[in-house]
Structure 1
């Protein structure tokens, strides 16, 4: 297993991003620091908005004069707001012009997703062998664990090669954060049979099976939407259009079920009494489906660790995103993704060489 990074682990935090800005990010940072004595934070934003954190231990304020709003077009974030808190936070992941090491091991922002992906990709670039970054997050399953799903919206149109890359990156993520060195991978489809799905999905299935046979990943096969919550596989791979629709549908369903339960228990005095008796069960249920616990999506495939928090996250949810970024950095997620991609590329080169030798011998 790859050794963990020595402490301190330093995170760059876009304190101005999201729907709430410092009113949420600063309390979250304070709570995170109390629970992670091996962490340091670079608090990026307008200094006058961050004065409350000026004397905090293991913190340093990094000034940024602009803010990328939730409705700013990507072009504005990329070309006009060059000193935004989002951009400055991501820049902390880059070595400086003199070749000095990056100041931060990972970056966390609750800002505009499209802008964050665009700025991160522009500044950091993608790893060799990765065509497109992907957004990955975890969802609760019936086995009491989590299912990692990607892509969740970074790439609407994907090729079979992209889906293979997502599987490799997702495997590295689960290995790093959860300690599962051989996580199972499922390809999201409309049925389990290999003959089902679009041509892209069929081709992706063939490539994933070949990668599994070569020992590059642990491919389970096709899975359906309900398998995400059953916990059939550790990882589920899909294109960003399907993934984003699935994620938003799931969040909406969880909210609706919670509202229905509250409504039914509040109908009359008898149901309210039943609610009091069922309170321990209701609290346990709420905890298990609380989406805030799973906040913090990784932007995989970049030459730096960037984590996206929900824009509407409260302090608890943003703290969870910080913790997820900390764990990923501490367990060298970036190195693990790189190693898996390199191994796959080398295997392809080897296969190409074997095929060339076979053709030459036949001639």
Structure 2
């Protein structure tokens, strides 16, 4: 890979690109001063924005010019056929060529997964890469996968997600022996479809792995932090993610309405302002921005398309941490030691939203 720590950014991906991307890169350099940034996109739009920054301007980042960008509404199949030369494709290519250690994009999720899978290729022993993200819990943070890359999954897919997920939290969160659970409609062993029951049976038999299998968990176990890694298919995972994001915004709106309700409530806000600020920070989705594509031969991170510069900076930080802690190498090592063979191959269902 590249010398040092280099991250390629799809500067044209996201609702507020390229401004948000450039500003986010500048913020990220405060936390990661050793980070080298490569911006991919329309240089005529990017260069003036770089000149307005402090840390990024001092680095004089490389800009890979292209005026072509993948639209949010493009289907993954269209992006694969017509996306060559786009800012997203060129940024991913930099990782594939070894010029960058990772790529971050706030663009089209389905296109990013499809192109990353084509260019970076899945690791040996992984049939379907998965999207993983962090959830705030009463105990701290937990990881969940898949969040939308694979709409339907069989038992082997779920077991592979469990292996990748526990490696991820051990690498990034520093947990020595994480607890893994499978999201289900109940905790009883007979509950759920054939895939989740078979996956649970396989995981219960993997006694020599460096994680503990808790069994089944339900939706309310996610915010409770019952397990460190929640495993599910992309259909359920994406619904859970969007529900959590919507609930966070709803609670925030309820609090604002309550404190504006009367003069007494406004005075109460002044007294509780510090606590409200802590709550707002704890629930801020920007803190958890940056979904990881696990199972690829390279680091790819998806930022929320509607995030701001701070949120995008956190997504860059996720990619940087994955490289610094050797996530790819650790996944390869554990897959080699405990690789699962599967007799069949099924097509991957890639999310389009």
**Equivalent residue pairs, number:** 336
Cα deviation digits, residues 254-302 of structure 1 (max 9, x gap): 1111101111110111111111111111101101111110000000111
Normalising by structure 1, we get a TM-score of 0.89
- Residue 131 of structure 1 aligns with which residue? 127
SS of aligned partner of 2:333: helix
- Residue 361 of structure 1 aligns with which residue? none
- Residue 245 of structure 1 aligns with which residue? 239
- Give the whole-Å Cα distance in 1 for the aligned partners of 2:172 and 2:40: 25
- Residue 96 of structure 2 aligns with which residue? 94
- Residue 150 of structure 2 aligns with which residue? 155
Normalising by structure 2, we get a TM-score of 0.92
- Residue 230 of structure 1 aligns with which residue? 224
Whether contact under 8 Å (2:2, 2:100) holds in the other structure is: no
- Give the whole-Å Cα distance in 1 for the aligned partners of 2:12 and 2:171: 29
- Residue 18 of structure 2 aligns with which residue? 22
Aligned 1:153-232 pairs, distance under 5 A? 153-211=148-206, 213-215=207-209, 217-232=211-226
- Residue 329 of structure 2 aligns with which residue? 335
State which of 8, 17, 39 in structure 1 corresponds to 2:4. 8
Cα deviation digits, residues 12-69 of structure 1 (max 9, x gap): 1111101111110001101111221121111111111111326441621112231111
Whether contact under 8 Å (2:186, 2:218) holds in the other structure is: yes
- Give the whole-Å Cα distance in 1 for the aligned partners of 2:152 and 2:75: 20
Whether contact under 8 Å (1:193, 1:222) holds in the other structure is: yes
- Residue 84 of structure 1 aligns with which residue? 86
Whether contact under 8 Å (2:290, 2:316) holds in the other structure is: yes
Structure 1 gap ranges (5+) = 96-101, 350-363
Q: CA deviation at 1:81?
A: 2.5
Structure 2 gap ranges (5+) = 52-56, 343-353
State which of 71, 74, 79 in structure 2 corresponds to 1:72. 74
Q: CA deviation at 1:6?
A: 10
- Give the whole-Å Cα distance in 2 for the aligned partners of 1:181 and 1:305: 23
- Residue 276 of structure 1 aligns with which residue? 270
- Give the whole-Å Cα distance in 2 for the aligned partners of 1:254 and 1:317: 16
Q: Which has the larger radius of gyration?
A: 1
User: Is 1:295 aligned to 2:295, yes or no?
Assistant: no
Whether contact under 8 Å (1:19, 1:70) holds in the other structure is: no
State which of 253, 256, 259 in structure 1 corresponds to 2:250. 256
Cα deviation digits, residues 116-175 of structure 1 (max 9, x gap): 0111111111111111010000010101x1110000000011000000000011111112
